[in-house]
């Protein structure tokens, strides 16, 4: 006796823009010392493209591997790659801004270039900045874990298993909300810090000179609080 034909529930990728919140429409009281709006916009664009690719694949769901493609382009790897790329770009931007501030201060006190090179950031310190910016991503990673689980259930869900499909859709929205939270958690790392002092552990600034820009103080303090010095 043949088994009854199982009709799979069509996959429908939800709109993700409302869940991205302030990644799309930022609200802030202070301008960032390091400009990262282009990175934020790129992150938002990539997530919206991710959703669009998923919907395009869903429209071809009757064609062979299209169903698997929907789950792939909206899956853990795609989300994680988007976040990691944004964090690496932001970390590089912060490192460049720090080195520019260090160089500016060195010129003010006429520090020889040979001595200046000793004060520029090491590769380990640059990696520490990236790691620090990504510390708010814990809940985002947990949401990705849940997305993997619900995607596996939705992959084989029949038209009678609407709950599995709804759970997968909600997981996608949750991942978008957690991505917003991760981005906002990293935001204070590049916002002006008026009260932090410049650390002296590397003999900076040279000759006891203190830079007039408090933003540099905040970022240098942040860097050394990473334990990278």
Average pLDDT over the chain reads: 81
**Backbone φ, ψ for residue 158 (5° rounding):** -85, 175
pLDDT at 179: 97
118 burial via Cβ count (<10 Å: 0-12, 13-18, 19+) = exposed
> Which tokens in the block code for residue 82?
């988007």
Question: Under a CB-based contact definition with an 8 Å cutoff, are residues 48 and 105 in contact?
Answer: no
Q: Are 98 and 119 in contact (CB under 8 A)?
A: no
**pLDDT for residue 81 is more than 70:** yes
Greater pLDDT, 65 or 146: 146
Q: Give the residue, 88 or 116, on which the prediction is more confident.
A: 88
Predicted confidence band of residue 229 (pLDDT cuts 50, 70, 90)? very low
Q: What residue has token string 């993997």?
A: 148
Window from 19-23, 34-38, 81-85, 116-120 with minimum mean pLDDT:
116-120
Mean pLDDT to the nearest integer, 86-90: 94
Q: What is the pLDDT of residue 30?
A: 66
* pLDDT tens track for 104-114: 888 888 878 77
- Summarised one tens digit per residue, pLDDT across range 157-201 is 998 999 999 999 999 999 999 999 999 988 765 554 323 333 343
- Return the closest-CA partner of residue 143 out of 105, 182, 111: 182
Give the model confidence (pLDDT) of 3-42 as tens digits.
Answer: 566 788 899 999 999 999 999 988 776 677 788 899 999 9
């Amino acid at each position: 006796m043949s088994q009854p034909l199982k009709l799979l529930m069509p996959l429908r990728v939800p709109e993700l823009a409302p869940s991205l919140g302030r990644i799309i429409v930022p609200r802030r009281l202070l301008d960032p010392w390091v400009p990262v709006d282009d990175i934020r916009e790129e992150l938002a664009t990539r997530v919206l493209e991710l959703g669009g690719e998923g919907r395009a694949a869903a429209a071809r769901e009757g064609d062979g591997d299209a169903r698997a493609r929907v789950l792939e382009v909206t899956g853990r790897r795609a989300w994680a790659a988007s976040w990691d790329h944004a964090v690496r770009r932001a970390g590089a931007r912060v490192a460049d801004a720090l080195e520019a501030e260090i160089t500016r201060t060195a010129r003010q006190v006429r520090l020889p270039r040979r001595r200046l090179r000793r004060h520029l950031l090491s590769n380990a310190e640059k990696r520490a900045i990236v790691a620090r910016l990504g510390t708010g991503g814990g809940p985002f990673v947990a949401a990705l874990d849940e997305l993997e689980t619900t995607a596996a259930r939705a992959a084989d869900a029949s038209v009678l298993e609407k709950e599995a499909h709804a759970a997968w859709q909600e997981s996608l929205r949750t991942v978008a909300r957690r991505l917003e939270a991760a981005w906002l958690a990293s935001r204070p790392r590049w916002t002006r810090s008026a009260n932090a002092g410049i650390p002296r552990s590397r003999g900076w600034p040279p000759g006891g000179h203190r830079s007039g820009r408090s933003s540099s103080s905040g970022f240098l303090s942040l860097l050394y609080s990473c334990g990278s010095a």
